[in-house]
Amino acid sequence: MLPFSSTFLVPPISPSFIYFSRFSRFHFSPSASASASASDLLRLTSRRLVWETKAQSLTTMATEHDECMGSVKGQLAKLFDVSLKVTVPNEPDVEPLVAACNGKFGDYQCNNAMGLWSKIKGKGAQFRGPPSVGEAIKNNLPTSEMIESCSVAGPGFVNVVLSKNWMAKSIQKMLVEGIDKWAPHSPVKTAVVDFSSPNIAKEMHVGHLRSTIIGDTLARMLEFSKVKVLRRNHVGDWGTQFGMLIEFLFEKFPNFEDATETAIGDLQAFYKASKQRFDADPAFKERAQQAVVRLQGGEDKYRRAWAQICEISRNEFHKVYQRLGVHLEEKGESFYNPYIPGVIETLTKQGLVEESQGARVIFIDGINIPLIVVKSDGGFNYASTDLAALWYRLNEEKAEWIIYVTDVGQQQHFDMFFKAAKRAGWLPHGDTSYPKASHVGFGLVLGEDGKRFRTRNTEVVRLVDLLDEAKSRSTAALIERGKGEEWTEEEIESTAEAVGYGAVKYADLKNNRLTNYTFNFDQMLSDKGNTAVYLLYAHARICSIIRRSGKDIEELKSKGTLVLGHKDERDLGLHLLQFAEVVEEACTNLLPNVLCDYLYNLSEIFSKFYSNPECKVIGSDMETSRLLLCEATAVVMRKCFNLLGITPIYKI
């Protein structure tokens, strides 16, 4: 077992390397060779480097008992699986193809008939074409209380209409047992989500917004799916830029340990000033280079100064994470640095690392440039660190899925890096087996001018300032609505934070992450259309309906009965029941916008139900049933908000 702890400090080593962070690639490469002590940390020859791959399909669930408990599609797939085994017993490994459909012919559809016909025709089968295969699949379905009727349409599509009674009972059961009963079950036990990853000694800016928000939502969805998620903040906390920062700290604060966050002030300005000094003053530059050697050599004074700068940065990062409600565990560049020499040595012994123009590289099939893992001057780089981190995550943390959330500009790097890992046998070939690694790319945040979002003086926008502005605007909107006279200061404060921060998050997450999007406060804080404000207000209105009824909703859950008698009630019930499969789809494809689409559609379907005079809630004969349907909608909305990292509000 390799030594590590959550407060890991690099032992005295002096590797030469090039430093790249996730979000900016400043490179420095002093010439010093890696010491043997770093390599000795890694006794790769005494244990298997390649963790045994699990050839486990993405669609395989955890256990028979728990499989798709909340997923209608999953439960139907089990029924169709039985039918397919009876219908075509000589065709093994036929996966049921079940999907939701538009409602004209049914609620769900099994689409296996055409594919099966292409396999079995000419083999003496008794079928005359896809329609007859579809009829057989329908006729061989086991009896189930969840199915009201089945029909076959077109080239063998088997359409299923769900039983209203079963739907109502399923929703009521969720209300009694909790929304977690609807959680999808992933085949993955442990996943790493590598996200946010700012640079030490630099402010978090709008460029970190998408990685932080998207990564947090993916982590939340996986956690809801019963996956142990290691939330990793791969901060840029190691590199030769620390020489100039430490030397500048010594210069400005001779008693550097007394230097506080307040004394140092703006970290971004501190970094810029040290860089200017480094570029302009040869004597300072020489001292800074010596500081790097002493830091990497483990000299106590320099290690303490490095730790001081890192801690001040962490305090600044915490302000952002606290506002966003995001939790991460930091394992930065410095944590993996001691593992690099041993990993490179092992890859070399496998024959993957070759010499090329003085550098050591891994050649990747289909790509005309190699993956450089050791520079010509002996320095390590971004790829070196990522290979060491991946090795650690697979072998020490036993992760089955490692997810990297960075901008799309780094796609080629991750493509080459993953292919190198597959060549090494760390990852299986193909994308349907575990362990696996995925790059979650995202587009840019743009300003009104269609360019990168910046301040008027072309500076990047500080994330803290952006979030505070959202809260400030949200507060002003509440005051304008007259809430200043009705609510306490605490209520205004908490609501303004929920709405302001939620608006920023949702405006990002509702877009396909691969696209750019324009940051616009007026649009994201609008209470009309597909915005967090509209959805939060919709939830608050549902809560208000339940309060105005005067009924004890908990008592209704245990004693009342939910009925889906009207079409609009049934439409709402069906959409609620599809929650689990939507979360599963969003997780599988790593697309949070799928969940946002579901949430917005849920609010629209509820509005249609509630505004229909035939579906009157309070004071109607069906009040109890419809209050339960209102509560079920609110419960699912709250879980959607939770997965998106948004705090719900209960009154407006």
pLDDT at 272: 87
Q: Which residues pair with 436 in a beta bridge?
A: 401
**Can you give the pTM of this predicted structure?**
0.87
What pLDDT was estimated at residue 70?
A: 67
* Measured distance CA(492)–CA(525) in Å, rounded: 16
Q: Convert the pLDDT of each residue in 391-401 to its tens digit.
A: 999 999 999 99
Question: By CB neighbour count within 10 A (0-12 exposed, 13-18 middle, 19+ buried), where does 494 fall?
Answer: middle
| Confidence at residue 354, expressed as pLDDT on a 0 to 100 scale | 92
**Pick from 629, 649, 650, 638: nearest CA to 175:** 629
65-91 average pLDDT score: 83
Average pLDDT over residues 59-76: 59
pLDDT in tens, 333-347: 999 989 999 999 999
- Structure confidence by residue, pLDDT tens digits, 433-443: 899 999 999 99
Residue 199 gets which letter from DSSP? B
Model confidence at 3, in pLDDT bands (50, 70, 90)? very low
Cβ proximity of 389 and 20 under 8 Å = no
| Better-predicted residue by pLDDT, 457 or 529 | 529
Q: Which residues pair with 482 in a beta bridge?
A: none
State yes or no: pLDDT of 19 exceeds 80: no
Q: What is the mean pLDDT of residues 156-185?
A: 96
What pLDDT, on a 0 to 100 scale, did the predictor assign at position 67? 41
Say what the pLDDT of residue 62 is: 34
Q: What's the whole-number mean pLDDT along residues 549-554?
A: 96
Chain-centre distance for alpha carbon 628: 32
pLDDT band at residue 8 using 50, 70 and 90 as cut-offs: very low
Report helix, strand or coil for 50.
coil
CA dist., res. 402 & res. 413, Å (int): 15
Task: Categorize the per-residue pLDDT at 372 as very low, low, confident or very high, splitting at 50, 70 and 90.
Answer: very high
pLDDT given for residue 295 in this prediction: 87
Per-residue pLDDT for 58 more than 70?
no
pLDDT in tens, 224-233: 999 999 999 9
**How far apart, in whole angstroms, are the C-alpha atoms of residue 606 and residue 618?**
15
The least confident of 167-171, 225-229, 259-263, 589-593 is 259-263
Closest CA relative to residue 79, chosen from 98, 92, 57, 56: 98
Query: Is the model's pLDDT at 355 over the cut of 60?
Result: yes
The fraction of the chain above a pLDDT of 90, given in percent, is 70
Q: Which of 21-25, 263-267, 280-284, 596-600 shows the lowest per-residue confidence on average (mean pLDDT)?
A: 21-25
Mean pLDDT value of segment 113-132? 85
Lowest mean pLDDT among 21-25, 141-145, 492-496, 582-586: 21-25
In whole angstroms, give the CA distance from residue 320 to residue 467: 8
Predicted pLDDT at 425: 95
Say if CB 45 and CB 304 are below 8 A apart: no
Asked if pLDDT for residue 18 goes beyond 90, the answer is: no
Chain mean pLDDT for the chain:
86
**3-class SS at 61?**
coil
Q: Residue 44 pLDDT > 50, yes or no?
A: no
